[in-house]
Structure 1
Amino acid sequence: MGVPLGVVGVVGVVAVAVRLAVGPGAGREATLMGDIAVVGIDCAFPGARGADAYWELLMRGGDVIGDLPDGRWDRVEFPDVSRGGFTEDLDAFDHAFFSVPPREAAAMDPHQRVLLPCAWRAVEDSGTAPSALAGTDTGVFVGVMGGEWGRLTLSDHRSVTPQLGAGSSAGMIANRVSYHLDLTGPSLAVDTACSSSLVAVHLAVNALLAGECSTALAAGVNLVLSPTLGLVYRQMGLAAPDGRCKPFSLAADGIGRGDGVGVVVLRRLEDALADGSRVYAVIRGSAVNQDGRSNGVTAPSRWSQQKVIEAAYRRAGVSPADVRFLEAHGTGTVLGDAIECAALGSVHGVPRDEPCALGSVKGNLGHTEGAAGIAGLIKTALALHHRLVPASRFADGENPRLRLAERGLRLLKSPLRLPRGETVAGVSSFGMGGTNAHVVLATAPRTVTARADDRGVPAVGVFTLTADSPEGLRRNLAAQAAALAAVPRTAAAALCRTSNRVKTGLPYRFAVAARDTRQLGEALRTAAGEEPTAGEAHRPRSAPVVAFLFTGQGSQFAGMTAELHRESPAYRRRLDEADAALAPYLGTSVRDLLLSGDERVHRTRYAQPALFAVGHALAGTLTDLGVRPAAVLGHSVGEFAAAVTAGALELPEAARLVTARGALMEELAPGGAMLAVRAGQDRIAGTLAACADAPGVTLAAVNGPEDVVLAGGAEELRRVGEALCREGIHTRFLEVSHAFHTAALQPALERFGDEAGAVRTARPGIAFASTRYGRMLREDEPLDADYWVGQAAEPVRFGAALSALVREAAPTHLVELGPRAQLLPLAGRSGLAPGVDFLHPSPGEGASGRELADLVAALYRAGLDPDWEALYGPGDRRAARPAPYVFSTESRFPQANRPAPAAAPLSAPVVAPAATASPDRVTDSVLAVVVEAVTEVGGYPPGEVVPEARFYEDLGFDSVMIMQLKDRIEAGLPALGEISVPRMLPALRSVASLAHYLNRLLLAETGVTAE
């Protein structure tokens, strides 16, 4: 549950004041930083894709060092630098997901390709849909060192392309993320050698504190693309012969290189707590400095390392004695380990109860260079989150010359369990050129979450998932199902709510209602099969158009909507609202009447207010969920709830009217009845005329071409019903006490008119289908006293009103609001709403929160973006972790396959058509040229470019590619001459629209008139 922002702000101020006055840093200058929350994490290190796999690797003390994978460089030629921590599938990139054409993807630095999906997954892990950040001031800060891709690809000047130029720029590594996520905050790549990514974290933290951005992605990425830097390390005497870093070990003999990418999502702590975000850890302070002119530009400086740590502690407001463990730079070089331990000992070797734990993830991964700092920071954040510090690799072979014990330090031979309360940790990262960084982290503050409602059964949630393609949707459904199969069965509502916030924004949608994770997992596995299921929808082109139908009298039953009331907090709130409005006039609680199963609900005095309360509460529940009707229709007493929903009546006024209506009608003499007849007016006219002994039977409702309702005396109706049954016509008596919508109501309606005359009304704010008039209400027709009196006395023209609603409002979905489905079957039998989907949130006895959830899921699949929070109670509004997005690995861009040179001219120009040529034939030939040109410019496989493909959203074209496309089209259609780009731009909606535009130009050149 989120904490109110005002409360968080006060808590934050008090916390800073305490740290200034009485904390470990008391008496020092007031340079405290604000607290920054780590709210999202993703990473891909050798043998560990994702934060969970990374943590598992650390806890088991895994070692990922191995031989060089195929495709990077010749292991035989460079055997001494061909071992390290290498990532598999470096060439896989889901270019279609990020709308990057294959030609551009092949030209991109692989650092860009591996960072994009990692950034996406980190944002998801933060509890935010990446699409929700579009247009925000979110910043991107990426640590990366060197420029190997540019050196590898730009040396052959003859193969240079615009894509290769942009693809090899180090700055573009951050810019790609900002571009594809549409982020407008600071975006920069940082190169301070091995400290790059921790410096990026420092810059991101300060940007957040300065208000430059409200969210920041801090990242590091490193790929070992060539042996070059390994050869440099070897010549400097820094390379480990076995490719393995052994930090602080007696066996330490140098650096082993490693791949890696990691991203953390950062927010100001008060913002994260206010939004109810899960917080892995808190960054309390950070600092960056430089060695200056020391004993060599590549040699580390003990004194600068010491100063940067002390500065970070001052900014964090902590004392070195408070620091429980340190994630050191720890390269495993003799000189580097000695200098770092001396600096750490100078700072931490204060009197303390127990030594400060020391470790370095380089012992597991190797030195990930530009990503080294982020690898250490993620390890530390996870350790604080799990309250467990992994053991230090090589702790058994500690180098005694480092004098760790006397310096207040120790290597962990087994994991260290952290005590309750706050724990402080530090992360160091030092650059070869002398730029040093240190970050201070602490455990996340404890938050109080609301307890789940104890109502007997788990709440029903709606699990949502989106993807960029049908294949992507099934792939991710399978991944979610597999993740659920690996965990114990639990309630699903919190996970569903998180999916609503995170797994949205992509064109292909899935949604399914579920109570628990086992039930959800089964639904996901079914949906992941080859055949599309009801839960899967293709890309919705627009939002659904919904019309509400409000049920009338005769649909009530004892205990109606009781289960929904028990399970839906939104429905409880809305029913309470109706109950409070009705109570002054009804003299009792309609809510209690419903929930107790009281049979008095069949008495007209109570039935009409009860049905009004249910209709109003269901409508309010749906509008709270973001389901806002384009039109409403109410059957008989259902028109009162329809009028409130349309804004024509205020709730208290409607409550007064409907209560008076029911009470006055119940006071009439008993004996009336109503009979539903499954036949049209014309068919039963003869039977009615032949029943001379039933003169009081009249038509009370025309619900459709083959559905009418008769009303009159009970005995007379019985005789008519028997006669109709002899003709094979189905009939059914309704659960009513009087012959409504007949002249028998006249004595009550005169008094009811007096009540209605005192009620204020307004023009409906949305389209209103009148079942009195059998058409849409006109602007000059008020819902005044005359309307309500006539509405009660005259036949209900439901069929005609429904026909008008469908014709004029063009709904895609009809939603019936009442205790059971009565109007939807009528609509279905009438044939008046062809192609319209029917939905009901509470379709009868036993209906619960599942039917409401099913309805919202169906509308979501159809394109609605609900206000999901209304579906969940406070106890379900907590962060959960769906499985991260699984990207396609089918498209491969191996390093050995250099980007293709500029595309050759099209081989078969199209000859300008003769004046008598068919416009259709010309269109086909022009379309073929455009498809071939787009395929060549984008580097797409033959047959992949379809006419419907959109240039920007689907194909990823930019201004450079548009110019290249122009050149190829001019070569393929020489009759056009030079094409004006400004005039061509409006046609670049899709491949087909461009072909159509070019075809018109060709026809104009030849004098052929286009159709």
Structure 2
Amino acid sequence: MTPGAVAIVGLDCVFPGAPDADAYWDLLTRGADATGELPEQRRAGHGFDESVHGGFIEDIATFDNDFFAISPREAAAMDPQQRLLLQCAWRALENSGRSPSALAGSDTGVFVGVMGTEWAQLHMSDYARVTPQLGAGSSSGMTANRISYHLDLKGPSLAVDTACSSSLVAVHLAVNSLLSGECSTAVAGGVNLVLTPALGLVYARMGLAAPDGRCKPFSADADGIGRSDGVGAVVLRRLADARADGQRIYAVIRGTAVNQDGRSNGVTAPNRWSQREVVAAACRRAAITASQVRFVEAHGTGTALGDIIECAALGELHAVQREEPCGIGSVKGNLGHTEGAAGIAGLIKVALALHHRIVPASRFATRENPQLRLAERGLRLLKAPVRLPAEEVFAGVSSFGMGGTNAHAVLATAPREPRTPAPRTGAGPAVGVFTVSANTPEALRRNLAVQADAVARRPRGDAATVCWNSNLVKTGLPYRAAFTARDTAELATALRAAADDERLRAGIADRAVHPPTIGFLFSGQGIQEPGMTSGLYRDCASYRHHLDTADEALAPHLDGSVRDLILDEDPAVHRTGWAQPALFAVGYALFRTLGDLGVEPDAVLGHSVGEFAAAVAAGALGLEDAARLVARRAALMERLPDGGGMLAVRARPDDLVELLADEPRVVVGAVNGPADTVLSGETDGLDRIAAQLHERGIRTRRVRVSHAFHSPLMAPALDRFAEEAAGIDATAPRVPMASTRYGHMLGDRPLDAGYWKEQAARPVLFAEALDDLMAETMPACLVEIGPGPQLVQLAERAGLPSGVRLLLPVPGREATARDFAETVATLYRAGVEPRWQALYEPARRTTECLAPYAFSTEHTFWQTAPRRTDRTPETAGPQPAAATTAATAGPPAEETDPVPDPVLDAVIEAIVEVGEYPPERVGRQTRLYADLGFDSVMIMQLKDRIEHRLPQTEGVTVQQLLPALRSVGSLADFLSEWTSAGART
């Protein structure tokens, strides 16, 4: 592996006639012409006449400002180049197989090539209309900074202007930053929009403009430059890192170089010798000779002088003995000259060509310019597509700036990675969880529809790999949906149904504000079944590993394997000597499997024997000690005489006092809820009580146990059990643990021998323990850790707070990995960020490309150039409206409070004015930072406008305001308190 190699792992672009990378490749392979007339939208007020021809992106006014939490006012003031780049960078990062949200806070660098400030020329000349938003929005330096800011990337962030070579120079800087260790991931790109005729006039007056607005590189018909729009970005990583992480690699950058023409025939004239040297330098850094380069994506503007000089420079290197001439071409023949984005347009073309192993034909190649003398220079125009061989292939990309800054990159095909065949388990396709997230409910619906269409276009097959890629890419945003699936047809149907049915979507989608607090409830005896969790053991490698581990820990203390007992569906699992170790093993394996997925408990509670696995989960017992205690407890209890049992009664303990007084050998064994009591004692006494309760219409049920647990009948076994427990290494729980022995949280009390003796002898106070756990830790999710429904049913009858989710990873003996995955899907929707790799076999964890995020196109931001006025800048009061927007897709404001609140009304009015939000967007619960994208400039503007509406707040400082800016309501409350305090004094 080449030490200096950098992998292109993701890309995205928008070019004329090509709204995405797939469309771009299609345009190239068809040899299509993407040039046309300037869109009508850009003509008014921008100085263009009616006959402008070139390569233009049809719609540059739409922008999903809500997605990036940018106010309408700021979005309208932003150069459309900044807006296009933000969305392009997001999609490129997704295309690299990583969620952009996951890179927040990382050292990811951003390098952007941008040429010219036409937006500033249009909008900064009317000094009276200048605002802070317009100042930032017109700065070319902000093109990279916007990406770093909104994605929270902490690596280098810079914009580069070397004229037409800007974006390839940006790639060069990104490569060097990666190789120096300055960043571990880099986004490099370029952008260009034709917003004024100024540069076109410059080309015309220099004799460089094509009369028909088309570039015709290397053609006998070449007569100048046609201007073009474009935006593109690539995601770069060091090759070794990309391969280690299993990322898809489009191509490998083996070497780059940048130089300058120096003093030549003029500052704008190309220099043949410098162009030759920059190509040679890139080849040296790639450790290859020019003769190894199969084709070159040339600068190729279609100017007579430029094409001649470039071909002469390439001929200096390629006119050597070689098997076949080096192919040359230029994408400018398809698009026009994208200027600041020209280098990235060429780089993406070459990366796609190497990835698909086909070099597209070049437009205008059929009438070769004879003055170029291509054949004698070892060069040829590609008149038809060329299929590349299977071995490693090298290609070059050139980009030359008008001022003399030249750049060249040498690329190679990606190394072939060995594919691991999918495991054959005999259980059919593996289950996966497909995730989709978005910033609003409407955006979620839109993206569900896009993913449904994309999945439906795939050949029917295993869905696990597709799901795995969605877990890496489509996560992190607040509105979430998740679907379990085994094949792509099933997945496409589920996605389409959710996209089309609002009620169905409401049932499978949630808004995740922050990670939820999770409580684990460990099942007790009576829920065991022959063969319990055997389906999960078959399907889930993580569960297999942890059940095997628990079996190994129990084996020295048992007369066989508890794992084999379970998998063989042996009815002996109902015997106490096996039931308790089996339940412990299942509980341990389940909580550890969830832990592998990143699902950790914030509090635990165990019912009777379930407390042993709960104690391990809480860090109060080690696995070996817990396994020994459970095995010894089970053995000692099984040796007790028969004749005892337990009876579940739908009644309160107080309702049973008289009956228990007549049966001294029966006691309360467990209090599971307000009307869920379990009696324990001699069988005859339980039968008599059951008969009397039946006459009263009170339901009872015999618990499937062999002895009267948690009753005085346990006494003969407890002293010996305490002796066994005396040597354990007991500590206080590290995770909050509710004790069903005491009916409350344990705090820092260690679980010593005395505790375990009392725990076996005394009643199980599950209801009280659950109440205290809920009060102390307020979990949003309660997950039963056991082989079936036991505790979730009790919790459901306990009158929990609304909104608490009750989850059951294993709903019964027939449960499979799909049931387990459904729980993980629900937790993801609630805000958990799972470690998804534990859900998939390594062979399923391969890279596949998903449809990119579908941004909203409902918001339109466009303004014509203002006329110059002599007014002075406004420092306060309303600013002119600068945008037209469709209905916002942001989080809706709540209904207006029926109680008049003049302070709240004034705050809302001021916020609407500062950001030019639709009034219905702003309500009491709206968050200023997360929902509205407020920054320090907007805060200062807001303070001025509040003081204008509420003069009594004039003494409030910005420092005093800052803590109150959590939401609109918190700000209004603070100002109300301030004004009230002022009135009292």
Q: Place the TM-score, normalised by the shorter chain, in its bin.
A: over 0.9
Q: 1:367 Cα deviation (Å)?
A: 0.9
**2: CA distance, partners of 1:362 / 1:278:** 28
**1:320 counterpart = 2:290:** yes
In structure 2, the CA distance between the partners of 1:480 and 1:535, relative to structure 1 (3 Å rule), is: farther
**2: CA distance, partners of 1:245 / 1:481:** 39
Q: 1:516 Cα deviation (Å)?
A: 2.6
Helix, strand or coil for the counterpart of 1:71?
helix
Contact 1:527 1:535 in 2 (8 A): no
In structure 2, the CA distance between the partners of 1:841 and 1:897, relative to structure 1 (3 Å rule), is: farther
Unaligned runs of 5+ in 2: 880-896
In structure 2, the CA distance between the partners of 1:65 and 1:660, relative to structure 1 (3 Å rule), is: same
CA offsets, 1:178-200, max 9 Å, x none? 22222232222211111111111
**1:469 counterpart = 2:440:** yes
CA offsets, 1:426-457, max 9 Å, x none? 10111122221110011122234544332222
Identify the match of residue 603 of structure 2 among 631, 639, 642.
Answer: 631
Other-structure match for 2:936: 959
In structure 2, the CA distance between the partners of 1:550 and 1:987, relative to structure 1 (3 Å rule), is: closer
Other-structure match for 1:737: 706
Bigger mean CA deviation after superposition, 402-411 or 278-287: 402-411
CA offsets, 1:46-65, max 9 Å, x none? 12122122112212222211
In structure 2, the CA distance between the partners of 1:256 and 1:413, relative to structure 1 (3 Å rule), is: same
**1: CA distance, partners of 2:934 / 2:356:** 44
Q: 1:718 Cα deviation (Å)?
A: 4.6
Other-structure match for 1:910: none
**1:306 counterpart = 2:276:** yes
Other-structure match for 2:523: 551
In structure 2, the CA distance between the partners of 1:715 and 1:962, relative to structure 1 (3 Å rule), is: closer
Using the size of structure 1 for normalisation, the TM-score is 0.90
Contact 2:517 2:602 in 1 (8 A): yes
**1: CA distance, partners of 2:653 / 2:677:** 7
Helix, strand or coil for the counterpart of 2:784?
strand
Contact 2:732 2:747 in 1 (8 A): no
**1: CA distance, partners of 2:946 / 2:467:** 49
Helix, strand or coil for the counterpart of 1:665?
helix
Q: 1:687 Cα deviation (Å)?
A: 5.6
- Amino acid in the other structure paired with 1:483: A
Other-structure match for 1:655: 627
CA offsets, 1:154-206, max 9 Å, x none? 22333322322222222122222222222232222211111111111111111
CA offsets, 1:376-434, max 9 Å, x none? 00011111112222222233333344332332222233322222221111101111222
Aligned length: 962
In structure 2, the CA distance between the partners of 1:654 and 1:373, relative to structure 1 (3 Å rule), is: same
Matches within 5 A, 1:194-213: 194-213=164-183
Matches within 5 A, 1:675-686: 675-684=647-656
Helix, strand or coil for the counterpart of 1:98?
coil
Other-structure match for 1:25: none
Other-structure match for 1:861: 829
Q: 1:594 Cα deviation (Å)?
A: 1.6
Identify the match of residue 361 of structure 1 among 318, 325, 331.
Answer: 331
Identify the match of residue 882 of structure 1 among 813, 830, 850.
Answer: 850
**1:605 counterpart = 2:582:** no
In structure 2, the CA distance between the partners of 1:971 and 1:582, relative to structure 1 (3 Å rule), is: same
Q: 1:264 Cα deviation (Å)?
A: 0.8
Helix, strand or coil for the counterpart of 1:441?
strand
Q: 1:76 Cα deviation (Å)?
A: 13
Using the size of structure 2 for normalisation, the TM-score is 0.92
Identify the match of residue 966 of structure 2 among 981, 989, 995.
Answer: 989
Other-structure match for 1:457: 428
Matches within 5 A, 1:701-740: 701-714=670-683, 717-718=686-687, 720-740=689-709
- Amino acid in the other structure paired with 1:651: L
**1: CA distance, partners of 2:917 / 2:802:** 42
Contact 1:634 1:640 in 2 (8 A): yes
Contact 1:634 1:642 in 2 (8 A): yes
Identify the match of residue 168 of structure 1 among 138, 141, 146.
Answer: 138
Contact 1:687 1:724 in 2 (8 A): no
In structure 2, the CA distance between the partners of 1:983 and 1:557, relative to structure 1 (3 Å rule), is: closer
Other-structure match for 2:894: none
Other-structure match for 1:746: 715
Bigger mean CA deviation after superposition, 351-360 or 604-613: 351-360
Bigger mean CA deviation after superposition, 170-179 or 931-940: 931-940
Identify the match of residue 52 of structure 1 among 5, 9, 22.
Answer: 22
Contact 1:701 1:708 in 2 (8 A): yes
Identify the match of residue 409 of structure 2 among 434, 439, 448.
Answer: 439
Matches within 5 A, 1:361-440: 361-440=331-410
**2: CA distance, partners of 1:974 / 1:799:** 56
CA offsets, 1:937-989, max 9 Å, x none? 22233443333333333333333333333333333334555653343333333
Contact 1:81 1:230 in 2 (8 A): no
**1: CA distance, partners of 2:653 / 2:472:** 52
**1:774 counterpart = 2:743:** yes
**1: CA distance, partners of 2:196 / 2:813:** 69
**1: CA distance, partners of 2:215 / 2:226:** 5
**2: CA distance, partners of 1:936 / 1:634:** 55
**2: CA distance, partners of 1:788 / 1:78:** 86
Other-structure match for 1:513: 484
**1:131 counterpart = 2:107:** no
Other-structure match for 1:764: 733
Other-structure match for 2:453: 482
Identify the match of residue 806 of structure 1 among 759, 764, 774.
Answer: 774
**2: CA distance, partners of 1:495 / 1:823:** 35
**1: CA distance, partners of 2:863 / 2:560:** 77
In structure 2, the CA distance between the partners of 1:49 and 1:760, relative to structure 1 (3 Å rule), is: same
**1: CA distance, partners of 2:742 / 2:931:** 49
Matches within 5 A, 1:229-240: 229-240=199-210
**2: CA distance, partners of 1:899 / 1:78:** 16
Q: 1:699 Cα deviation (Å)?
A: 3.7
Identify the match of residue 616 of structure 1 among 588, 598, 603.
Answer: 588
Contact 1:72 1:895 in 2 (8 A): no
**1:587 counterpart = 2:559:** yes
In structure 2, the CA distance between the partners of 1:947 and 1:726, relative to structure 1 (3 Å rule), is: closer
Contact 2:295 2:328 in 1 (8 A): yes
Alpha-carbon RMSD across the aligned residues, in angstroms, is 2.7
Contact 1:138 1:213 in 2 (8 A): yes
Q: 1:666 Cα deviation (Å)?
A: 2.6
Q: 1:525 Cα deviation (Å)?
A: 2.2
Bigger mean CA deviation after superposition, 161-170 or 921-930: 921-930
Other-structure match for 2:885: none
Matches within 5 A, 1:20-169: 34-73=4-43, 82-169=52-139
**1:576 counterpart = 2:548:** yes
**2: CA distance, partners of 1:645 / 1:133:** 31
Helix, strand or coil for the counterpart of 2:482?
strand
**1: CA distance, partners of 2:46 / 2:410:** 44
In structure 2, the CA distance between the partners of 1:981 and 1:745, relative to structure 1 (3 Å rule), is: closer
Helix, strand or coil for the counterpart of 2:40?
coil
Identify the match of residue 905 of structure 1 among 872, 877, 896.
Answer: 877
- Amino acid in the other structure paired with 1:569: A
Other-structure match for 2:254: 284
In structure 2, the CA distance between the partners of 1:822 and 1:561, relative to structure 1 (3 Å rule), is: same
In structure 2, the CA distance between the partners of 1:478 and 1:700, relative to structure 1 (3 Å rule), is: same
Bigger mean CA deviation after superposition, 793-802 or 471-480: 793-802
Other-structure match for 2:888: none
**2: CA distance, partners of 1:595 / 1:262:** 55
Q: 1:749 Cα deviation (Å)?
A: 3.2
In structure 2, the CA distance between the partners of 1:56 and 1:642, relative to structure 1 (3 Å rule), is: same
Helix, strand or coil for the counterpart of 1:528?
helix
In structure 2, the CA distance between the partners of 1:259 and 1:551, relative to structure 1 (3 Å rule), is: same
**1: CA distance, partners of 2:955 / 2:608:** 68
Contact 1:71 1:895 in 2 (8 A): no
**2: CA distance, partners of 1:737 / 1:613:** 20
**2: CA distance, partners of 1:535 / 1:125:** 29
Q: 1:310 Cα deviation (Å)?
A: 0.7
